[in-house]
Amino acid sequence: MKRFLNNRKLLITLLSFLLLVILIGVTLQGRNQSHWYQSFARDTAGVGQRLFATPIGWVDDTVTSIKEVRDVYKENEYLKSRLNDYADTAVEVRDLKRENEELKDMIGLDGSIRDYTLLPAEMIGRNPSEWHRYVTVNIGKEQGVKADMAVITADGLIGRVIQTSAYTSLVQLLSDTSRTNNVSAVADDTRGKGVFGTIEGFDEERKLLKFTKIPNDAKLKRGQSVTTSGLGGKYPSGIVIGKIEKLESDKYGASKIAYVKPAADFDQFGHVFVIEREAKEPFAESVTGGDTSE
């Protein structure tokens, strides 16, 4: 009995070794060539992948197309709404132009308070002791320059002519802190209503202009543009002055003061334009009081 068990163990060992050799051979052979069952499995997987990929790809393309159509529809609706706005604006502009022409005919005004001619000039002089007050430009009476003409850069208003000679002019900058240095200005409030006041004075510490005489009920906010109003007969309307940085009440609480960051750089400029206004405010000389004086 014991001998039979020993022979059985030997037989099992031999069979195991033989099976191991066969498995090693199959494995080594599989590295160089594929068996029929491996090829069948790969072909089956490939066909299945194509069968599933085609409808999935079609669904994906369909979903993408639907999304694109929806986006195009939304964009089209938005553009149509904007087109309606533009149409309304065009009608309003046309009506305003017609009304403006009628009013000009009634008062006999030739031109508009926005009409002006630009006379190009170059800064040729600046006194270090009065750096923030005056500059000299290279055109004068011979080129048609007169006192009180506005002076601008490409960015906005910088001041006005106060003295002229034959070929030069002295320009007073808005950064001059003189109380007589003022400009009638306007800003649109949050309701689209024009708020009129006066640019007078310059805060040297903050480097900001003072927009004064603003009613307490005016709805202004930071970032709103301030331009010339055209009142007073000196400056045309619509010349950019700057944007509101801060609002506060005056020391008496009777009105508001807006601090305006100038659009033009008073320190760094070389070329300017002197504005020759083509239309004069017909009532400028007769108006007394109010905010039309500059």
Q: Are strands 134-137 and 116-125 parallel, antiparallel or unpaired?
A: antiparallel
Q: Containing domain of residue 65, as a range?
A: 59-109
Q: What is the C-alpha separation between 201 and 204, in angstroms, rounded?
A: 9
- Asked if residue 245 belongs to a domain, the reply is yes
Once rounded to an integer, what is the mean pLDDT over residues 116-129? 89
- 182 and 231 inside one domain: yes
- 77 and 192 inside one domain: no
Residue 161 has pLDDT above 80, yes or no: yes
The string of pLDDT tens digits covering residues 240-283 is 999 999 998 887 778 889 999 999 999 888 899 999 876 554 44
Predicted structure pTM score:
0.57
- 162 and 139 inside one domain: yes
Q: What is the C-alpha separation between 222 and 54, in angstroms, rounded?
A: 58
- Asked if residue 9 belongs to a domain, the reply is no
- 85 and 226 inside one domain: no
DSSP code of 130? G
Domain count, the chain: 2
- Asked if residue 180 belongs to a domain, the reply is yes
Residue 68 has pLDDT above 50, yes or no: yes
- 100 and 130 inside one domain: no
- 150 and 269 inside one domain: yes
- pLDDT of 179 reads 75
- Asked if residue 5 belongs to a domain, the reply is no
The string of pLDDT tens digits covering residues 206-223 is 899 999 998 888 888 899
- 178 and 273 inside one domain: yes
- pLDDT of 169 reads 95
- 167 and 215 inside one domain: yes
- Asked if residue 31 belongs to a domain, the reply is no
- 122 and 246 inside one domain: yes
- pLDDT of 293 reads 42
- 246 and 204 inside one domain: yes
Token pair 């504005």: residue = 275
**Rounded alpha-carbon distances, angstroms, from residue 114 to 15, 55, 74, 238:** 110, 66, 40, 7
- Asked if residue 188 belongs to a domain, the reply is yes
- Asked if residue 224 belongs to a domain, the reply is yes
Q: What is the C-alpha separation between 59 and 171, in angstroms, rounded?
A: 72
Q: In CATH, what number is assigned to the domain containing residue 187?
A: 2.40.10.350
pLDDT band per the 50, 70, 90 thresholds, residue 24? low
- Asked if residue 26 belongs to a domain, the reply is no
Number of H helices, E strands in the chain: 2, 12
pLDDT band per the 50, 70, 90 thresholds, residue 121? very high
Q: What is the C-alpha separation between 279 and 111, in angstroms, rounded?
A: 5
- 143 and 247 inside one domain: yes
- 257 and 120 inside one domain: yes
